[in-house]
Amino acid sequence: MEKTAASNFLETIIAEDIAAGRVQTVVTRFPPEPNGYLHLGHAKSICVNFGLAERFGGRCNLRFDDTNPEKESQEFIDSIQADVRWLGYTWDGEVRFASSYFQQLYDWAVYLVEQGHAYVCDLNAEQAREYRGTLTEPGRNSPHRDRDVAQNLDLLARMKAGEFAEGEKVLRAKIDMASPNMNMRDPILYRIRKVAHHQTGSDWVIYPTYDFAHGQEDAIEGVTHSICTLEFEDHRPLYDWFIAHLPLASRPRQYEFGRLNPSYTVTSKRKLKQLVDDAVVAGWDDPRMPTIAGMRRRGYTPSAIRKFCQMIGTTRSDGVVDVAMLEFAIREDLNENAPRAMCVLNPLKVVLTDYPEGKVEKLAAASHPSRTDLGERMLPFTRELYIDADDFREEANKKYKRLVLGKRVRLRNAYVIEAVDVVKDPSGAVLEVHARTIPDTIGNDPADGIKPKGVIQWVSATEGRQATVRLYDRLFNHESPDKGERDFMTHINPASLQVVQGAWIEPSLCNALPEQGFQFEREGYFVADRLDHSEQAPVFNRTIGLRDSWAEHGGSGE
């Protein structure tokens, strides 16, 4: 798979605005609602908004559009800030909140009423739907649409004072109930919500809708390019209507790009919440989740995620992106940067009968085959070792390049050994292999000219340490789990997590820092779990395999 940087039409727009003098300083913003954890799609938006600001020497604001206090919390605010920082971006100035502008937004609502552009409506939700019309039939004017300005101002003030119950009244813009764009059919500006807000407490009992707040927040902050995903395209006429009808010092413009829809993934907040609530996963940061917190815990790197977003480009069309492109970016990044180490997942003991008992030989091994700056680590070599059970057979054909009884194999960064005998249990299963070392074969071929058939990993049985290794794979076994008639939960991959409790690792891996990644040779890329790993109880998560085994095995996974 080639790594390419796809086109970004937004760069062209901004460059033209600067060249024409329409914009002096580029200001963008990333405006998440603090009602959940960010996912891969949000990572794309972060990269687009912050990346454009960096590209043109401008500024990007982090603003929480916190207009719906019922679903918002400080937990989400904190996690979103951590995600943006982890991806490597810094927002301009302090974190901003829509709630900081509530008084100004209310004053602008009063202005629209005074200008005859907004009115208080008493229709309940069911009546409002009936009056709104359909995609093929125009709506009808509310019976309250022609209230005079004084009455509307009085009712709005009483809404703000808390005199009315939730749902009893709303403030609506007076635009066009016959518009073919449903968003322009007298949209709601304010609803009554008698809920405490995480930033403003009980100061407000009416809250602006996102559509009303969005453009005005951009104007307050001097945003020049308000960049949204494509589902907001039909909202742009409303965005522009508010900008045109309010006395704003700044006139931002909205642009839309295609959202990121990765295969084998769901990104709906509702569906992700269901996975958590139904305990399909262990939380929002479960390494199988497409949340930024989950990808971070799995060992994905910020640079790889940013590279992936660059590879897929920023276009004007929606489409499904093969998640293998993300996995390619992860593999490429880790291949270049992850230190090497050895881990035996399915241990089989090897006893070197000619090697002295109690002897511990320290063997130097490069931490990376092409990165001398990563230095070396020391491997303790002893009489008793563990190799992977799949790396030994009593008999095998010539295609088998591992240890066979009576044949030789090289232990990675160590000696060539030759299997001479096996010890079995009463059922005939092999318990341990007895072997001998071939002298002077560290870095050399055997003097007798009989070369080993292959190279396998190993860990000292006396100096190594046991670890818990979690083998993560794709959470879904269907390319489009939330499409079609079947419930997306029926596409859960039953092999998305396998836990190996008795793996053996190099002793140096116990000192790995949380979130430190490694290539376990011949096994894949792994990371020390950021929460559970410790020197006393090492825990590693598989980030990804060495190869795309889904493609190799027709979608059957690792």
pLDDT digits (tens, 9 = 90+) for 385-427: 999 999 999 999 989 999 999 999 999 999 999 999 999 999 9
Q: What is the structure's pLDDT at 234? A: 97
- Choosing from 140, 145, 193, 259, the catalytic residue is 259
**Using 50, 70 and 90 to split pLDDT, how confident is the model at 554?**
low
Using CA atoms, how far residue 348 sits from 128, 384, 461, in Å, is 71, 10, 10
Over 36-61, what HEC string results? CCCEHHHHHHHHHHHHHHHHCCCEEE
**Please, what CATH class does the domain formed by 9-257 belong to?**
alpha beta
Nearest alpha carbon to residue 331 among 58, 519, 62: 519
pLDDT digits (tens, 9 = 90+) for 242-257: 999 999 999 999 999 9
The CATH 2.40.240.10 domain(s) of the chain lie at 269-337+467-552, 341-463
Q: What is the structure's pLDDT at 7? A: 54
Q: Is the pLDDT of residue 144 over 80?
A: yes
Q: What is the structure's pLDDT at 485? A: 79
* CB-CB contact of 235 with 211 (8 Å): yes
Rounded CA-CA distance 515/499 in Å is 18
Q: Is the pLDDT of residue 137 over 60?
A: yes
- Choosing from 55, 193, 269, 436, the catalytic residue is 269
Question: What mean pLDDT is reported for the chain?
Answer: 95
255-274 mean pLDDT: 95
- Choosing from 11, 33, 54, 332, the catalytic residue is 33
Rounded CA-CA distance 294/40 in Å is 10
* CB-CB contact of 432 with 423 (8 Å): yes
For 269-337+467-552, CATH number?
Answer: 2.40.240.10
Q: What is the structure's pLDDT at 548? A: 78
pLDDT digits (tens, 9 = 90+) for 47-70: 999 999 999 999 999 999 999 999
**Using 50, 70 and 90 to split pLDDT, how confident is the model at 549?**
low
DSSP secondary structure letter of residue 291 = B
Rounded CA-CA distance 50/350 in Å is 54
The per-residue DSSP string of 332-371 comes to HHHHHHPPEE-EESSEEEEEETTSPTT--EEEEEESSSS-
Structure tokens at 403: 């240890």
Task: Return the minimum-mean-pLDDT range out of 4-13, 72-81, 95-104, 519-528.
Answer: 4-13
Nearest alpha carbon to residue 343 among 463, 504, 469: 504
Query: Three-state DSSP class for 376?
Result: strand
153-182 mean pLDDT: 98
Q: Does the active-site annotation cover 259?
A: yes
488-508 mean pLDDT: 97
The CATH 3.40.50.620 domain(s) of the chain lie at 9-257
Query: 341-463 domain in CATH 2.40.240.10?
Result: yes
Rounded CA-CA distance 501/312 in Å is 38
Q: Is the pLDDT of residue 4 over 80?
A: no
Q: Tell me whether residue 48 is exposed, middle or buried, using C-beta atoms within 10 angstroms of its C-beta: 0 to 12, 13 to 18, 19 or more.
A: buried
pLDDT digits (tens, 9 = 90+) for 182-237: 999 999 999 999 999 999 999 999 999 999 999 999 999 999 999 999 999 999 99
**Using 50, 70 and 90 to split pLDDT, how confident is the model at 2?**
very low
Structure tokens at 474: 């794709």
* CB-CB contact of 513 with 534 (8 Å): no
Q: Is the pLDDT of residue 528 over 60?
A: yes
Q: Is the pLDDT of residue 552 over 80?
A: no
pLDDT digits (tens, 9 = 90+) for 504-527: 999 999 999 999 999 999 999 999
At 206, which amino acid appears? I
Rounded CA-CA distance 254/94 in Å is 23
